[in-house]
Amino acid sequence: MKQMRWDEEADIIIIGSGLSGMAAAAEAAGKAERIVILEKMNYYGGNSVLAGGGYACWDSSLKMRQKLDLGEDSWELHMKDTLKGGGDYGFPELVRVMAEGAPSGLDWIAESGVEFKDVLVRLGCHSAARSYQSKSSGKAMMDHIKARVLSTGVELRLNHEVTGIVRDPESGEVNGLEVNNEGKTIRIFARKAVILASGGFGNDVKLRTEQNPVLNDVLPCTNHKGATGEVIRYAKAIGADSVHMEFVQLYPCASPSTGSVDRWAFYAYSGAGFGMIYVDENGKRFISELAGRDEISKAQLDSCKKPTWAIFNHEIMDSLLMGMDEVEDGIKFGRMVKAESIKELEEKLGITKGGLTRTVERINDALKSSGPDPDFGGERVRGMLKLETGPFYAIAQWPSVHYTMGGLRINENAMVIDVFGKPIARLYAAGEVCGGIHGANRLAGNALAECVVFGRIAGENAASEPTRQAAQTT
């Protein structure tokens, strides 16, 4: 057989410079001589730099649960919530790996210099408050992690777009990659392994509508421009299997004007566990705020006019550790509305007269009596606050394509599985490029946990592969 001519070699080649790629590189550093991260964009970080910094974790060395006296939690409960929230489509063996490994993953982020707020948030479909919130933005978090990774000698190359994965037809091993750099094709041989950490396909309208025709170009997208999924296609071209590609999540609290997820969108979603309510143009709640993102988004699109509103007061704001500077910026940029009374808030939002007042009264009565949710059943939970004293606030929100739960099939060792159910030798994957973990709906905070946990597994296992030499390098 004619040998491919390689232009260069590296021990481990990682596609994608987001959190999963960085975690993989960090774990492999010191165990492999040359590690190269390839990023097709002219910036690093992918969707990770846009993240709100929420990390779902049942425990950590920060011991936040104990500090805040929030009771017990466990990896088993985290796993159970994840499976249930995903409609039981998730693969239990993968969910278990994520849930069990989440604490050490959070510790790894903290060791990189990322600080976390003294709060744990309960988010939709989680049965406990377990979302750690970083003090910094996703970009600042990733800057800390990038600095840590690059200090080990890992090489990061921007503007390097993968155009093909090379798999040896005889041995079945993945040998390397074909890469386009400013119009020039480069073939890089992997002496140990290739790791796919290229993210999802939320910004590839053609691919997402092929999986789910409802997700057309009318819907905006929260993702960065490079979330286009071609690496999934290249992996499938060499025999990789995919799973759950039809499951695409909308973020219900995105900016109605831009479709982006900004800091106010994160607050609108995080406030549900503290008593924030979501209402329509009539001031009526249209869903339980602790429902899954998929359920909330569907309710908005099915029965509401754009936009819906997240309603809260200063006590909920304080519980979220939301600063007055953020409130002032929100008002300045038109993302927030402030009023001294519910009646005034109704008028400012153009809500049907008396609609919001009646909704708030019903919620407050239920909280006073510790009764069930007056609109959707189920108990109002510990930590929820009454909307009694002003000032009151509203954040506009509307669904936007946010996360693709489907992707390449992997096993517990982060190895990519082929269409015959066998691992593809020397090919690993981590992060949103993978499917099978979140099922039909991803729970908030699980994305960062998945990226770190499986990224580190991929890096460790790739580094342990035996070193080989290219048949021919030019």
pLDDT score, position 456: 98
Answer yes or no: are the C-beta atoms of 6 and 189 closer than 8 Å.
Answer: yes
Distance CA 306, CA 373 (A): 25
pLDDT score, position 373: 85
pLDDT classification of 379: cutoffs 50, 70, 90: low
**Residue 130: what are its φ and ψ, rounded to 5°?**
-140, 15
Q: Range(s) for CATH 3.90.700.10 in the chain?
A: 250-401
Whether pLDDT at 8 is above 50: yes
Distance CA 113, CA 445 (A): 19
Whether pLDDT at 380 is above 80: no
Distance CA 289, CA 279 (A): 10
CA angle 327, 69, 84 (to 5 degrees): 80
20: Cα separation from own chain's centroid: 11
In 3D space, the residue among 463, 7, 433 whose CA is nearest the CA of residue 194 turns out to be: 463
Q: How confident is the model over 415-441, as a mean pLDDT?
A: 98
pLDDT classification of 474: cutoffs 50, 70, 90: very low
The region of weakest confidence among 8-17, 373-382, 440-449 is: 373-382
| Cα Dmax for the chain | 79
Domain 250-401 is of which CATH architecture?
A: Alpha-Beta Complex (3.90)
pLDDT score, position 404: 97
pLDDT classification of 2: cutoffs 50, 70, 90: low
Q: How far apart are the first and last CA of the chain?
A: 18
Share of the chain above pLDDT 90, in %: 89
Distance CA 300, CA 445 (A): 22
pLDDT score, position 376: 87
Answer yes or no: are the C-beta atoms of 437 and 90 closer than 8 Å.
Answer: yes
Name the residue with tokens 């509103």: 309
pLDDT classification of 368: cutoffs 50, 70, 90: confident
The string of pLDDT tens digits covering residues 91-117 is 999 999 999 999 999 999 999 999 999
Distance CA 223, CA 252 (A): 14
Distance CA 250, CA 293 (A): 7
Q: Range(s) for CATH 3.50.50.60 in the chain?
A: 8-247+405-463
Distance CA 255, CA 46 (A): 20
The string of pLDDT tens digits covering residues 220-263 is 999 999 999 999 999 999 999 999 999 999 999 999 999 999 99
Whether pLDDT at 383 is above 70: no
Catalytic residues, by residue number, are 293
The string of pLDDT tens digits covering residues 268-307 is 999 998 999 999 999 999 999 989 898 999 999 999 999 9
Mean pLDDT of the chain: 94
Whether pLDDT at 325 is above 70: yes
DSSP state of 204: -
CA angle 420, 424, 425 (to 5 degrees): 145
pLDDT classification of 369: cutoffs 50, 70, 90: confident
pLDDT score, position 1: 44
In 3D space, the residue among 471, 109, 408 whose CA is nearest the CA of residue 234 turns out to be: 408
Give the count of beta carbons closer than 10 Å to the beta carbon of residue 147: 11
Dihedral of CA atoms 181, 186, 189, 195 in degrees, nearest 10, equals 30
Give the count of beta carbons closer than 10 Å to the beta carbon of residue 379: 11
Share of the chain above pLDDT 70, in %: 98
Question: Which CATH fold topology does 8-247+405-463 show?
Answer: FAD/NAD(P)-binding domain (3.50.50)
Q: Is the peptide bond before 391 cis (omega within 30 degrees of 0)?
A: yes
